[in-house]
Amino acid sequence: MRLLICLLVLISTSLYGQKSKTYTLRTIAFYNCENLFDTVNDSLTFDDDRTPEGRYHWTQERYLQKVENLSNVISKIGEDTSKTSPDIVGLCEVENLDVLEDLVQHPNLKEKDYGIIHFDSPDARGIDVALLYKKATFIPSSFKSHRLLLFDEMSERKYTRDQLVVGGTMDRENIYFIVNHWPSRRGGAAKSSPLRVRAALLNKRIIDSIQKLDLDAKIIAMGDLNDDPIDNSLKKILKTKGKKRQLDSLSLFNPMEAMFKKGVGSLAYRDKWNLFDQLFMTSNLVTEDRTTLSFWKAGIFAPAFIRTDKGRFKGYPLRTYSGGSYTSGYSDHFPAYLFLLKEVE
């Protein structure tokens, strides 16, 4: 018999002569797994480097250590507050369903009873996005993979990741999650920016299509966007807002914008921090009405054990390889997360 655990957070308001209220707390997280490949050579993708004979000598031992490391991180995201692992976890840079099953079946996560939603993307490297969900707290009812069509200057197709959309029920409310991994900055941020603008346009079309069917739909988009919260893809295309007072009924709220302006980052490159890993949401989640699922706060999960502890890259994410050498780390990104609250009736 499955044990259903509902985390309750007790907040006392006795100073104001009111009764104490009890809230359900839900954690929504996103993590770039930095090349979670198995050791098998897939003839249809460019994964040769991540094989035992490949450039990185990707052995079964190293693969299992990677699964151990990532499952440990996922199990601890938001745990200081929630006392449990996330209810929803969006992932990117995962090779296939097999690695996802190894991840959720690892002892660090197995008792959490995560379900998996995944589609194979046409990405040239063979990396995909996916959604993990606790079966006890989220019931999926729809899921679809949306293809991002990109072309280079010669009109040649550029194969990249799909955008995954999952709808379902959480705490008796309908909610949608969109998992993204937008095109990289290869070739430079300015030159590659139009590719991420295209990704943002697809994201906007997805959100618009959901709202066309249900204007009151609650939507949370997440992902490694390869852009910061202040870049054109977010500010000009999706028109995200960084302050609650700026919101109207059709706005998208990005809590990462204020964090970025304070110097918070999820990855570092050439001594500069970026906040590419983000979660943003429809404005109906940003409310003081706690009788419905509502945004509480967001953060970047960056404990000491997933940081480089010395040398030139001290404080950076502790990655699996550094300078071509195996370091038995975690990822080149820190996870991002947010909390939702709902008053218990």
pLDDT band at 193 (very low <50, low <70, confident <90, very high): very high
Contact 279, 338 (CB under 8 A): yes
- Over range 8-28, report the average pLDDT: 66
Contact 250, 208 (CB under 8 A): no
Residue type, position 295, single letter: F
Cα 143 versus chain centre, distance: 16
Q: According to the 3-state scheme, what is the secondary structure of 51-101? A: CCCCCCCCCHHHHHHHHHHHHHHHHHCCHHHHCCCCCEEEEEEECCHHHHH
- Over range 290-311, report the average pLDDT: 97
Taking the C-alpha atoms of residue 332 and residue 317, their distance in angstroms, rounded to an integer, is 5
Q: What does pTM read for this prediction? A: 0.94
> Phi, psi at residue 263, to the nearest 5°?
95, 10
pLDDT at 18: 59
- Tens of pLDDT along 104-135? 999 999 999 999 999 999 998 899 999 999 99
Cα(first)–Cα(last) distance of the chain, in Å?
A: 26
- Over range 38-55, report the average pLDDT: 84
What percent of the chain has a predicted confidence (pLDDT) above 70? 94
- What domains sit in the chain, N to C, each tagged with a CATH number? 29-340 (3.60.10.10)
